[in-house]
Amino acid sequence: MRKPEIEYPCPWTYKVIGADPLRMSLAIEDLLQERPFELSESNRSETGKYVSLNLVLTVADESDRQQIYRDLQQVAAIKIIL
């Protein structure tokens, strides 16, 4: 299977999943600081235990995209990143 060809810079969406949307939002704001982004609620689990947020921002290149993913992995409030 070939990797998709991505033309940079481009908008990129990360779906982040965790239990506390406020903690996730504050951690993402702290992580991205002055960088412009959009954050919106995507879905809630049936039990309401988990919530997913869509994080959309412009990534400059593959390295930038991967670094943001790695940075998001370090956020304790985020359990899964897609």
pLDDT tens for the chain, 82 residues: list them: 787 789 999 999 999 999 999 999 999 999 999 999 999 999 998 888 999 999 999 999 999 999 999 999 999 999 999 9
So where are the chain's domains? 10-81
Instruction: Output the pLDDT for position 4.
Output: 79
Sequential DSSP letters for the chain: -PPPP-PSSEEEEEEEEES-HHHHHHHHHHHHTTS--EEEEEEE-TTSS-EEEEEEEEE-SHHHHHHHHHHHHT-TT--EE-
pLDDT attached to residue 50 = 95
What is the predicted pLDDT for the residue at 2? Answer: 81
pLDDT at 54: 98
pLDDT in the model for residue 81: 97
Q: What CATH number should be reported for the domain whose range is 10-81?
A: 3.30.70.260
